[in-house]
A and B are shown apart, each in its own frame.
Chain A
Amino acid sequence: MRKTTIVALTAAVALVAMQFGRRERTNPANRGSFSPPASVAQPLRRACFDCHSNETNWPWYSGVAPLSWLIVHDVDEGRRRLNFSEWAEYASDPETQRYKLEQIVRSLRRGDMAPSYYRLLHSAARLTPNERDRIVRWAEEACPTGSPPR
């Protein structure tokens, strides 16, 4: 059997075997009331909610390992760090809510979010400067106590 055939067959077998190790794609129930103005909610939902909410749109390839491992990991981590569907949980400690809002402002001002590799593949995740400014203004005004975030 030719070498290339062996390599191809091995890769195919490995790919099939990987599918048995797929991680579960979940969308838990929403547990909070997150209701910013529509002008803020719309770009947040479009650009951020796939990783930072329980309303992830899972594309077909997110079910194919090994890509699914990376995607599920990113969503799990994104939800752990910031989950808009569980905003009421943060709000029950005003200073945590304030800290989360500060992080949103910082991430957007530095251009950290959405990650560049994600924006490359998902044009919808790109925020216009106007959208970014709107979200930053909202986050600054929504701080529960004291002065706006730095």
Chain B
Amino acid sequence: MIFNFQISASRIAGFLSLLVFSATLAIAGISIADDDLVFEIRAEGGRYDPSELQVPAGRPFAIHVINAETSAIEFESFELHRERAVQPGETITVLIPALSPGTYGIFDDFHRDTPGGSILVK
């Protein structure tokens, strides 16, 4: 029996990207499995939405930070030791290890005059 199938270039690129991303996570010692938590924070109109993100304690998670502004932002949190520039229109993924209950501040370091936000861990 002969199987004929076509693999598009975009599928190959997507598969390779996933391989590289997974290898990077493995090296970092963090894995995002199918059942891991992923949240979204959108930067738009000079603020983060949601301004307070609630996440469960004791579980690693990822945040997709979407920059819907017209200029670059710097997603930063001193408490979480996270700092990433996000270009306009770009979405980045920030990996966070399991956290203890508490409130962890986030802000845009490129626009310190804008209100920040927080991640509430319960």
- Which chain A residues have a beta carbon within 8 Å of chain B's beta carbons? 80, 83, 86, 89-96, 99-100, 144-145
Contact = CB atoms under 8 A, between A and B. Distances in A.
Contacts of A89: 80-81
A119 to B, nearest CB: 25
Given A144-B28, A145-B20, 9 more contacts: A89-B80, A92-B28, A92-B96, A93-B28, A93-B84, A94-B24, A94-B27, A94-B28, A95-B84
Interface in B67-97: 78, 80-85, 92, 94-97
B81 A90 contact: yes
A91 B28 contact: yes
B99 to A, nearest CB: 11
Contacts, number: 44
A92 to B, nearest CB: 5
Given A99-B84, A144-B27, A144-B28, A93 B78 contact: no
Given A99-B83, A100-B83, A93 B24 contact: no
Nearest to A90: B81
Contacts of A93: 28, 30, 82, 84, 94-96
17 contacts: A80-B78, A83-B81, A86-B81, A89-B80, A89-B81, A92-B28, A92-B95, A93-B30, A93-B94, A93-B95, A94-B27, A94-B28, A95-B92, A96-B83, A99-B84, A144-B24, A145-B20
B29 A92 contact: yes
Interface string B17-35: 0001000110111100000
A16 to B, nearest CB: 34
Contacts of A94: 24-25, 27-28, 95
